[in-house]
Amino acid sequence: MTQQGCWRRLSVALWAGLCLLSEQGCLSFVHSLDMPPKEQVVLSEKIPAPSRNHVHVFLIHGLDPLDLANLSGLTEYIQQLGYIKTHYGQLYHLWSFKKEMRRLHKEEPQTRFVVIGFSFGANVARELVNAVKEDGIVIDLLVYLGGYTLDNSPQSQPENVVRVVNILAAGCFWDAKIDRAENLHYRNVWHFGSPTHPQTRELLARELAVVATRVPYSEKVPPLPPELEEEIPRPRRLASDQLRQISSELPSEWSFLNSRSAVKEPPPPPLAQPPAKSSVQRVPFAIIP
């Protein structure tokens, strides 16, 4: 190998390494994403923001140092839908994601979890979900994107997952279906196009809304400032004469609303008087022989 060839290979390796360490890939523009359509934004806006903010989405990329699949763009797309607690990571973020999920489960029990893995990241997503099963953590949604190396085993469909979606693209020539999953096979896009596919984005918008509705939410009214509380009129107690005056002005058909204390009861009827004694003096009856 010539010296020129060695320098060329070294430059390519350095370029790929820099792309791997960067958060934004060099080829993400190939599968660029626009703003979410109005119907998807309206769907998420129907859910209160506190409920959406308790949905944590973890995206795990695969062996794609140039981010040709634009998984970072999909992360921003989900955040634009209103799910701001969306975490983007590479394969080596598995341990930090485990730690973060366990912390959230302990400190915020109402948290809902969504895990998305692309390509070999689907295998890491499967390992993440199975690892937190012993902690009692339930995953509301697990999405495999291009997980060609996954098998139809219990590990690929763990018991602590509510819903599993398995999305494959064109070029998959073997059966990679999972029994307890919704299996989708795109025929019009290849492997790196499955994360940004319109059907994938529509599915995520719908499924994330379903997950957010499971978060318990009760609206808390903030207390009024002291200056406003002084302006609120307080109820006052009416005197007896005022109550009688108000009651006397009511129509007769509204008499059932009168208070017993405000209505003057009629006096009871007089008792029957005993009959007066007669002035005639009674003479005892005597029999004369």
pLDDT tens for 171-226 read 765 667 899 999 999 988 888 889 999 999 999 999 999 999 999 876 666 676 77
Domain that holds residue 194: 50-212
Give me the pLDDT at residue 16, please. Answer: 46
Number of domains in the chain: 1
pLDDT in tens, 40-98: 999 999 999 999 999 999 999 998 888 888 999 999 999 999 999 999 999 999 999 99
186 lies in some domain: yes
40 lies in some domain: no
Give me the pLDDT at residue 29, please. Answer: 43
pLDDT in tens, 129-171: 999 999 999 999 999 999 888 999 999 999 999 999 999 988 7
Question: Which of the two residues, 134 and 21, has the higher pLDDT score?
Answer: 134
5 lies in some domain: no
28 lies in some domain: no
The answer to whether the CB of 80 falls within 8 A of the CB of 57 is: no
Task: Give the count of beta carbons closer than 10 Å to the beta carbon of residue 249.
Answer: 8
The answer to whether the CB of 113 falls within 8 A of the CB of 144 is: no
User: Is 50 exceeded by the pLDDT of residue 279?
Assistant: yes
Q: Please tell me the pTM assigned to this model.
A: 0.67
Instruction: Read off the pLDDT band of 257 (50, 70, 90).
Output: low
288 lies in some domain: no
Q: What are phi and psi of 205, to 5 degrees?
A: -60, -40
Which CATH number characterizes residue 120's domain? Answer: 3.40.50.1820
Average pLDDT over residues 237-246: 66
88 lies in some domain: yes
Give me the pLDDT at residue 68, please. Answer: 86
User: Is 70 exceeded by the pLDDT of residue 28?
Assistant: no
Give me the pLDDT at residue 12, please. Answer: 43
Give me the pLDDT at residue 239, please. Answer: 64
112 lies in some domain: yes
**DSSP string across 34-99:** -PPPHHHHHHHHTS-HHHHTTEEEEEE--S-TT-TT-HHHHHHHHHHTT---EEEE-GGGHHHHHH
Collect all residues with Cβ–Cβ distance below 8 Å to 127 and sequence separation of at least 6: 94
187 lies in some domain: yes
